[in-house]
Chains A and B, each alone.
Chain A
Amino acid sequence: MSTATATHDEHHDHGPAKGLMRWVTTTNHKDIGTLYLLFALVMFFIGGAMAMVIRAELFQPGMQVVDPQFFNSMTTVHALVMIFGAVMPAFTGLANWLIPMMIGAPDMALPRMNNFSFWILPFAFSLLLSTFFMNGGGPAGGWTIYPPLSLQMGDGFPFMIFAIHLAGISSIMGSINIVVTILNMRAPGMTLMKMPLFVWTWLITAYLLIATMPVLAGAVTMLLTDKFAGTSFFSAAGGGDPVMYQHIFWFFGHPEVYILILPAFGIVSAIVPTFARKPLFGYSSMVYATASIAFLSFIVWAHHMFTVGMPVVGELFFMYATMMIAVPTGVKVFNWVSTMWKGSMTFETPMLFAVGFIIMFTIGGFSGLMLAIAPADFQYHDTYFVVAHFHYVLVTGAVYSIMAAAYYWLPKWTGNMYDEKLGKMHFWISTVSVNVLFFPQHFLGLAGMPRRIPDYSVQFTDWNVISSIGGFVFGASQLMFAYLVYKTIRGGEKATDQVWEGAHGLEWTLPSPPPYHSFTEAPEVK
């Protein structure tokens, strides 16, 4: 490959600068993608450590390890860190690395802004985590920060709000960059309906982010002025309404859960065809299904608040609208299964994670359908059943897809093959332990164990012990992943350009590792 020589020439102005400042001032999409992914990995372990505290406390009934206030701040910050610090930056990192390579562009459209949108994040999360050292401790009112409870937080309150503002600004800027890149930077011949599904799902995700993140920013700004400026948006005494916060929050919050899963759909749609050695079944139906899910996500928000006292008509509307989402999601699952049908399948680690995603995400989808049934939700609401549901879609869904993506593209990024044996071990230990961790929580929830409470009745003990053991094993097994990534970056068997026998797409035509600027000359798109 002739372009590869340019990267080895340090004096060439297209090569990376040296030292630490390379990473601070970089405007290169690959450098920024790497920064995002490493940041997400660090946050994954910080949020994971908080989950370990939660599972340690719930290992036995009664109060053992931490006091209730700290326990509540663990559940709250675990969620905030995992959603805004781990999963979203990981997807943005993947987008940065892959979208220019997939559409035949030299870099992202707005490289300077790309640098800003990453470097805001470390500040945002330093602000958030610094609240633990303040008078009153970290946020403990749940990640949804419902008033009036959230307004009782101590000195850290404005720090948490500003952390959310900053993280929001970061992801809005990242999304704008992605939309502009996809719309303006495609190689000639790369029509919209030829784009890989990862690019499609990210395009739609970026629009969701641009439409909803500012609404969250507005909601938390209202909280801020309610606390400090004497407004009463959510204070009944001043003519406001705390339930209105829930409506505004979930107007953001429901599209947010699709922000956390649509890029995962794109990743799985890239991996399954490669290892089934067949083209993706129903490409255009996948695109339309993604778009329908995005549209529906705006009209289902109140299913998070069935128990606030809505009229029956409202309950019915949100129940049916929610159930309707199962249709496009089902289209996707059937398409993946049809892609595998009669394919020559092999099960390298990325494929294992992708198949694990399809099976376990579907389990999470089904428990979601159960929660969508408004009358039944009165029993499930705020129990461990909800916790089990969203961890199946977020851990074995979103996180599994990110793991799959890391294994799938790591050889392309680093030029080295990862340790397949270690990867498979990571998959199997994770998959067994994650089910030991979360499956019993379905039973706990159906039996009535409430979420966000540090203590429980003794009849819940057995399943909690099992769940905690699964949690510790799952947490520990992620260290294998960190080690594997480190080992792959350091060296290993050299990867070919195509890496995987069945891989198709522009990124696989580049050398491994790809040159610093992906396509300085637009590739030919067939």
Chain B
Amino acid sequence: MATGLQRRNDRSFVKIALVAIAMFGFGYLLVPLYDVFCEITGLNGKTGRIDEAEIAARYQPDMTRLVTVQFIANNNLGMPWEFGPGVESMQVHPGKVYATSFKARNPTGHDMVGQAVPSVAPTKASRYFNKTECFCFNQQPLAAGESKDMPLRFIVDPNLPGDVQTLTLAYTVFDVTQVAMK
């Protein structure tokens, strides 16, 4: 076989192999892209986080409008905690900060760590639901038999589309004891 052809083949091989390696990287790149996409569009029900100090500058409370916020709590499969909202729903004015709490109890005989993951429905409203303080920002340790009131402070953006009258905030609590203890 002509060596010129051999060299050409080897060069082509390297080029195409680089494409394959780049596509492996692209698979990983999809992860941050996915998060950014969800954040921009509010898909996936991901909620926002905001500093309480910024609120006065950004939002005017809309005292003419009342929105219902419902609270739901779920346990992931195998998570034994007793976990539920302090109140089931609240009437809130957009642009104003409200506080509530969720109750959690560890009924088992050993210390555990939980992580709550929020989701807002309908998804188009999730971009307008912001929290200034939430137990979901951190992992929550509970000693054996301990119970705790876990605070939540939130604000609904006054730009919330007019047809949304009810928001549902759902938390799922996961057992992360194994990971957290490492």
Contact = CB atoms under 8 A, between A and B. Distances in A.
B123 interface: yes
B123 A311 contact: yes
User: What DSSP secondary structure best describes chain A's contact surface?
Assistant: helix
A14 to B, nearest CB: 12
Contacts of A215: 23-24, 26-27, 30
B139 to A, nearest CB: 9
Q: How large is the interface on A (under 10, 10 to 19, 20 to 34, 35 or more residues)?
A: 35 or more
A213 B20 contact: yes
Contact of B27 (A210, A214, A241, A243): A214
B8 interface: yes
B15 to A, nearest CB: 9
Interface string A381-398: 000000000000000000
Given A217-B24, A247-B34, A311 B1 contact: no
Of B17, B172, B182, which is in contact with the most chain A CB atoms at under 10 Å from its CB? B17
B165 interface: no
A241 B23 CA distance: 21
Interface of A: 106, 109-110, 113, 172, 176, 179-180, 183-185, 210-219, 222, 230, 232-233, 235-239, 241, 243-244, 247-248, 251, 309-311, 314
19 contacts: A109-B9, A176-B20, A183-B12, A184-B8, A184-B9, A211-B23, A214-B23, A214-B27, A216-B27, A217-B27, A218-B26, A232-B179, A233-B31, A237-B175, A238-B115, A238-B179, A239-B117, A310-B43, A311-B43
A320 B25 CA distance: 29
Nearest to A234: B31
Interface in B59-104: 76
B177 to A, nearest CB: 10
B152 interface: no
Given A212-B23, A215-B24, A241 B13 contact: no
Nearest to A216: B27
Contacts of A218: 24-28, 30
B104 to A, nearest CB: 15
A280 B30 CA distance: 41
B102 to A, nearest CB: 16
B174 A237 contact: yes
B1 A237 contact: no
B118 to A, nearest CB: 10
Instruction: Give me the 3 closest cross-chain CB pairs, A-B, nearest first.
Output: A218-B27, A237-B174, A214-B24
A235 B43 CA distance: 17
Given A109-B9, A230-B179, A244-B34, A237 B76 contact: yes
A210 B13 contact: no
A239 B44 CA distance: 12
B21 A180 contact: no
Given A106-B1, A172-B20, A214-B24, A180 B13 contact: yes
Nearest to B41: A311
Contact of B30 (A110, A235, A247, A309): A247
Nearest to A107: B1
Nearest to B17: A176
Interface in B90-143: 115, 117, 123-124
A202 to B, nearest CB: 14
A210 B123 contact: no
A187 to B, nearest CB: 12
Contacts of A244: 30-31, 34
Interface in B1-40: 1, 5, 8-9, 12-13, 16-17, 19-28, 30-31, 34, 38
Contact of A180 (B12, B24, B25): B12
A496 to B, nearest CB: 31
